Amino acid sequence: MPAPRPHAVEGLLQVNFRVPAKAPLGDAVPVTLTVGNSRSPDGVTMAVRSATQRILVIDDALTNRNWLSRVLSRAGYEVFTARSNREAAEHADERAIDLVISNLSSGSQQERLETIRRVEGRRPQLKVVATAAALGPEALRAAELRGAQSIFTRPMSARAVVERVRDLLRPRPVPYEALEILR
């Protein structure tokens, strides 16, 4: 019989395990726990994330894509680039993306918005950064439509880009909330 744990409810079973390096990634990876002859019910899932955060850069300008990819890869991010909405959608279908950097001046606004929504479907906590040549009312409106949390204007410094991306992707603590359970 396991030893009682402080602050634990009687009958609580705590399971500690390691996720294999080759485990599939996703927000709802099926999990089965077997203890003796007992098995967990079907439909139990858990989120499995890569240790490396993933960034998708959507820009029709090769120089912009390459520069952002180089800067962010050096900072330890896994970076995917797309020159079109179609390429971006393909990346989003193949992997979970944590942050999208999207050029406001390339592609149709509606198509780009649909692409970002598609990426967001796989990662509801998606962060979005817009890039623009200059900051003005039109750029602000377009960034807001895309759900951007930040706008990068050119010229961009590598240090400022990395700092802002780190800040956007930093895990935020979840506030502790005590609930009274009524029986």
Amino acid present at 130: A
Measured distance CA(143)–CA(134) in Å, rounded: 12
Q: Please name the residue that has the structure tokens 């744990």.
A: 5
Structure confidence at residue 173 (pLDDT): 60
Beta bridge mates, 39: 34
pLDDT higher than 50, residue 72? yes
**And the tokens for 150?**
């930040």
pTM of the model: 0.69
Measured distance CA(139)–CA(85) in Å, rounded: 19
**And the tokens for 105?**
């001046």
Average pLDDT over the chain reads: 81
**Which domains are seen in the chain, by residue range?**
54-169 (3.40.50.2300)
